Amino acid sequence: MPTLSRFLLLAAASALSFVAGCGQRAGQPEGPTVATAGTQAVSFASPPWLRQHLPGDTIAYLRLPSLWGLLSAPNQRGADAMYANPAHDKVIGQLRQAVAGNAVTASFLGSDTTDRVLKVLSSVQAPVEIAFVASGKVASAAALALVSTAFEGKDPAAVSALLDSVLENAGFPSLRFGADGFAVATATNGATAAAHFDGASGRLDLLAGMGASRTRLQTLLDEARDEGPRPHAMHALEQEIDAGGQGLLLWIDAPSVKPYLLASLAPDNRWLGHLVERTGAFAFGWGGVGGHGRLGLRVQLDDPAWMRYLPAAPRRFELASAGEPTSVVTLAIPDAADIERILVAVGEDFGAPALQRWEAIENETRQETGLSLREWLAPYGSEVLLFDDDAGGFSAVRLRNRDALKANIDRLTALGSEYTVRTVEGVDIHHLLLRAPAAASAPSGDTPGAALLAWWRRQPMHLYWIEDGDWLVHSPVPQPLIDRIALKASQPIDAWLRERHGDDRSQALASASTRVEGAPRAVYRHYLGLLALLGDVTNSPVDLFALPTARQLGLPARTGAGMQLVAGPNRAGIDLNYQHTPLDGLMSGPGAYGSIVVVSILAAIAIPSYQDYVMRSRLVQAVAATRLLQQAIIRHHADDGRWPGEQALAGQLHLAGQIGDSKVQVEPNGMIFIRFDEAAPAGLRDVQVALVPYRMADGKPGYVCGLALPPQGATPLGETVEPAVATTVPSRLLPAECQSAR
């Protein structure tokens, strides 16, 4: 695994942990104090600015979380109080400097370009926001990209230097900000970038595209300043995915890109084309909403006609459980009114043949079960619950029409089913022994499979239920119902869903939720371990004693995780909800799942690190073994005025080449090359380290190794190549003496 991937994995693992410690410095007797969310802002994460100042002709908006904001910033999740703490703030500041600036980090990354890019990311402390602006809100090649973010530093020259690597990769020359804060650059493809840096706030605004100019950027900034925060269509969907503003968000105005979407569809794809025609916008992202984490997708639909085919909302799930539920599934089924509305829509959209097929299904269902589908559903509402609690596992359905239920029971008993009622502690437990009608039980063939099916269909089905307010609560056997009666169910399920998941399920077509044991404490523990590991690999050890314990933070023992499919008159979407991280369930799952997750992450980081350590050790030994050889070459050159041949250095060459699988070669110009054979680790094959002779400023000769810069005043001894040019070993593997001091 490349070392950049290794670092990004470390960052991603920490980001998924989404939990941080907070406390006083170690050594204070009363231990770390815990700040409450909102009492102290973190120094490494600033709020987004552009989202409140979007131009009116914005057709798309992309928000990318800042590196450290992604790892450890508050964002309307249950763990936010952990982040707003001086001790944690100090640790993150320490790690920011370590990742961005020192030679150890550059060595770890193994690429000068990557190192510079990481320095830019570490210096950015607000989300990177990009608004795509198109005249008339029609997507085209003339659309402009308006980029906004904020830097920790306030020096325009320093920010310009940081941006050089990014702009160079995009084909732009360096930006140099004038006294008014503006700068303009033109790329090799003719695109223009106009930028403005505000030294007071550290905010950078950049406008790029074929029609970008300083004047256009100035106009946009003036409008934002004069009008202040302004509403935008994006905000409605944003608040359902990332109300905190520090997470990832992509929003697209669908009508602006509709021609491109329709052109990309096959002519016979009518259903998808119909959806594109009626889509107003869509958004995707992850962040925080109402104190809980969320990964969500939303589609805004302009035509509510599609809702004719779905059960009507809102739905309520106020039924109580016995103790806190361990899992809850909600479903929306069509009730009697929904079926009538759906049939009208089917007739309007698909005509009489579709209605005739429906009636055929109804007749077949009546023949098989004794009741038609409409008759089966007539007593019930659209709310269905499946849940497990202290009493057992249950299914429940809303009861809207008791007369229809009684009529169904009477009809089924007339067809051979048996219905009885038993009373337990004053509560009636209903038992229906459901038998298939004789017509449905008749064999339909003489094959063994048909006979087995006929036998199975003749077997009775036992249904047990109690009435609890407007709900029928079912169980496959009566014992859980008896326990439910004894335990006096009192925990409203809808309140539990709001508490554990931060939302209700009134618009959900389907949802699943589970109780998670110990996740906050496990995630916090793993997060601290990853912070310590990041400090170790950047040579900036983290003092974990300065951070509070899970007990001091008051982390709850239980949280929740779940998902839902939502649909409303003008919305459709899917959410994954969690308390701290999408890995909540795994981190505290059964057995050793949490340990497996952490060990896997640590192994993915530690194993490649160990492999690098082995290769670096080989190089350290190989370079050290050339010391006597370097002295012999310099001495020969001083005595004879020329470089020695390999024959004159046979003894020293033999000694230098005795280190494992390394091979040493001396060139006629005095340069020494260290190479490795096929027995060496894969990372050392086909690469080399060059040692080049120089006359130092004091007049004494010596060698410069690898990517190291020659000392001030040193001059090459003869016609040689710079060591950094001739060396092809990755920087991260070189000994310290062979690395660049930059």
- Average pLDDT (530-550) is 85
Structure tokens, 261: 């979407």
User: Do both 320 and 208 map to the same domain?
Assistant: no
In the three-class reduction of DSSP (H, G, I as helix; E, B as strand; rest coil), residue 405 is classed as: helix
Structure tokens, 478: 């009566």
- Average pLDDT (479-490) is 95
Cα dihedral 489/493/498/504 (nearest 10): -160
Residue 34 has pLDDT above 50, yes or no: no
Token look-up 């390999």 returns: 646
In the three-class reduction of DSSP (H, G, I as helix; E, B as strand; rest coil), residue 296 is classed as: strand
Residue 360 included in any domain: yes
Residue 391 included in any domain: yes
User: Do both 262 and 335 map to the same domain?
Assistant: no
pLDDT of the residue at 329: 94
Segments forming the whole domain that contains residue 721: 608-738
Main-chain dihedrals φ then ψ at residue 206, nearest 5 degrees:
-135, 135
Q: Identify any residues that bridge with 146 across adjacent strands, giving them in sequence order.
A: 131, 207
pLDDT of the residue at 581: 60
pLDDT of the residue at 67: 78
User: Do both 629 and 695 map to the same domain?
Assistant: yes
Q: Tell me the C-alpha distance between 11 and 530, whole Å.
A: 9
pLDDT of the residue at 173: 73
More confident site: 675 or 173? 675
Task: Specify the pTM.
Answer: 0.69
- Average pLDDT (109-130) is 71
Residue 290 has pLDDT above 90, yes or no: no
User: Do both 23 and 108 map to the same domain?
Assistant: yes
- Give the amino acid at 683: G
pLDDT of the residue at 78: 64
- The DSSP-derived string for 255-292 is HHHHHHHHHTS-TT-HHHHHHHHTEEEEEEEEEEETBE
Structure tokens, 724: 């950094």
pLDDT of the residue at 57: 92
Burial of 180 (0-12, 13-18, 19+ CB in 10 A): exposed
More confident site: 415 or 463? 463
Residue 298 included in any domain: no
Q: 437: cis peptide before it, omega within 30°?
A: no
Residue 305 has pLDDT above 80, yes or no: no
Structure tokens, 276: 């594109």
User: Do both 281 and 141 map to the same domain?
Assistant: yes
| Length of the chain in terms of residues written | 742
pLDDT of the residue at 493: 94
More confident site: 436 or 719? 719
Residue 28 included in any domain: yes
Residue 602 included in any domain: no
User: Do both 426 and 280 map to the same domain?
Assistant: no
Is residue 497 within 8 A of residue 563, CB to CB? The reply is no
Is residue 585 within 8 A of residue 519, CB to CB? The reply is yes
User: Do both 103 and 220 map to the same domain?
Assistant: yes
Residue 278 included in any domain: yes
- Which are the contacts of 356, defined by CB distance < 8 A and separation ≥ 6? none
Domain tally, the chain: 3
Structure tokens, 254: 């669908």
User: Do both 528 and 455 map to the same domain?
Assistant: no
Residue 175 has pLDDT above 90, yes or no: no
Burial of 135 (0-12, 13-18, 19+ CB in 10 A): exposed
Percent of the chain with pLDDT over 90: 27
Percent of the chain with pLDDT over 70: 78
- Which are the contacts of 402, defined by CB distance < 8 A and separation ≥ 6? 379
More confident site: 370 or 33? 370
- Average pLDDT (309-319) is 87
- Average pLDDT (375-395) is 93
Q: Tell me the C-alpha distance between 715 and 594, whole Å.
A: 58
Burial of 580 (0-12, 13-18, 19+ CB in 10 A): buried
Angle 212-217-218 (CA atoms, 0-180°, nearest 5)?
140
pLDDT of the residue at 271: 65
